[in-house]
Every structure is written in C-alpha cells, then in structure tokens.
Amino acid sequence: MTEERISINGLEVNCKIHSPLLWRKGRCLLILHGWGGSSNSWVRVQRILAKKGYQVIVPDLPGFGKSKTPPIPWGIKNYTDFVLNLVNHFEFENLFLLGHSFGGRIAIKFAVSYPEKIKSLILCDSAGIKQKWGPKEKFIFRLSKIGNAIFTPKIMTRFKNGARELFYIFLRHKDYVKADGTMKETIKKVLEEDLLPELSEIKNRTLIVWGQGDRMVPVKFSHIFKEKIANSELIILPKIGHSPHLEAPKELAEIISKFFK
C-alpha cells in the first residue's frame, strides 16, 4: 500500500492506494469515506480486499485527512465533480464505487450523473435522505426562530453561534458543531440537499449494507434505499452501528468481495 499526493484541478489531495501499477487492469474499488473520516478509517478493509486481489484506492476527500480544504464551501455537486476528475485523472476502468455516510451522498450523485463510469455501486450506512422532523425537532425549530429574534440585537450577537450549535446538536448534526470555517458552511450546504428523488434514477447494480444499530442514520432508511433503487440488494448487519468498516472490517470486506463475484 502506498500513499500519494496528487493535484486535482489545483487542489492537493492525499490518496491511499494498493498496487498503483495494476489498478487500471484489474477490479478497482474507489471508496468515499464519511464526514469527519479519512482514508485512515478504511485501512483494515482496504488491506483485506487487497489480499483478495482487488485494487483499492481511498482518497482523503477535500477538507478531510491530509487533503486541502476547498477555497469556498462545497455542495454535493462540487464533491461529485471532484470524484469525476479523480476518476479521469487515473483513467479508471471496471470501477466499483463505495460510499459510506457522507461519502454515500457523493456516490449516489455520481451514479446518477455518470452511470457509465462505474460498474456497480455500494452504499454503506449512506446519508442522503432528509429526515422528517418529529414533534421534538419541530419544537426546537420554533425555539430557534424565537432565538434568532432574541439574538439579533448587537449585545446578544456573541451568544448566537452557541445557540445555533445547540440547535444542531439536538437535531443530531454534531458534525456541524465539530466543523469550522469553510467546512461548517460546507456541511450546511450538504444537509440542505435531499437525494430521495434521485434514488430511483440509479441504474447500476447496487449493494446496500447497513448496521442494524445505526443511530446516526437509522436502519429504517436502508429499506427506503432498497425500495427506491431498482437493481439493489440489502444486507443488514446485526449488532453493528454506523461504521461497519471499523466495527466489523473482516465481515464487511467479505460481503464486498462476494458482491464483486
């Protein structure tokens, strides 16, 4: 396994690569990690699949790991264009695309926009469907509206950001709280987009893998993915949460390998 820094449209990006001289000839898997993650979080799965003869590349998405942060806030389309440029840069062939959580959003958009570029799609505990608000969230939203009015006067402005972060915590968007600067604006743009209407446009064969105990993106959403994506199969992992690649890397790698075959 090697680590390589490349330039994609002037943006310096870090990638972990297995068998860089062979990937174009064999079965290649491109993995898109989740928000707050990096290529490091997929090393164990990458190594297991490499031993099985697969070529695997895991980039640190712009703004994460060792990759540079975009100069302006990005949305899903910007990340999708980045993946397209990455694929073209390496001249990938027979490409399998895997997206986890936030990476799943990008993978969905990529599969819809460029179906001819990939052979099959894997969505692992994927984000992308905007969750409907229940009574608690609606109550908090009303409070936030009141809060905006309260914190508008200059004397109260210094408290506004703290109140906004508390609001996002209640809505389970803790990634927003952890982000800063450009990436804080980026996650706001990402969360605004609902990819549910686009799921039925995915034509590639798709594997959906989900942790039954996922609290960030509850398992009920896996069934929506299965229902909306025509050529798909669903595997639910018992006693596993939001990160199967960290909690059960061997099991996940075996599932991926069987899907390839």
Express each pLDDT in 58-116 by its tens digit. Answer: 999 999 999 999 999 999 999 999 999 999 998 887 799 999 999 999 999 999 999 99
Residue range 2-37, pLDDT digits in tens: 899 999 988 999 999 976 445 455 578 999 999 999
- pLDDT at position 174, please? 52
- pLDDT at position 140, please? 46
- pLDDT at position 151, please? 45
Query: Could you give the 3-state DSSP secondary structure of residue 150?
Result: helix
When pLDDT is cut at 50, 70 and 90, the band that residue 212 belongs to is very high
For residue 113 the two structure tokens come to 């926009």
What are the φ and ψ backbone dihedral angles of 41, each rounded to 5 degrees?
-70, -15
Helical ranges in the chain per DSSP H: 43-51, 76-90, 102-113, 135-150, 160-170, 174-178, 181-192, 220-228, 244-247, 249-260
Domain spans, the chain: 2-130+194-260, 135-188
**H or E element that contains 3:** strand 2-8
Residue range 34-67, pLDDT digits in tens: 999 999 999 999 999 988 888 999 999 999 999 9
Q: How far apart are CA 72 and CA 181, in angstroms?
A: 10
- pLDDT at position 179, please? 55
Residue range 126-173, pLDDT digits in tens: 999 987 655 544 444 455 455 455 445 555 444 445 444 544 444 444
Q: How far apart are CA 258 and CA 49, in angstroms?
A: 11
Segment 199-220 mean pLDDT: 97
Q: How far apart are CA 194 and CA 192, in angstroms?
A: 7
Segment 169-184 mean pLDDT: 59
CATH of domain 2-130+194-260: 3.40.50.1820
Model pTM score: 0.84
- pLDDT at position 27, please? 73
Segment 218-227 mean pLDDT: 97
Task: Give the number of other Cβ atoms within 10 Å of residue 26's Cβ.
Answer: 13
Say if residue 241's pLDDT is above 90. yes
- pLDDT at position 198, please? 97
- pLDDT at position 143, please? 52
- pLDDT at position 98, please? 98
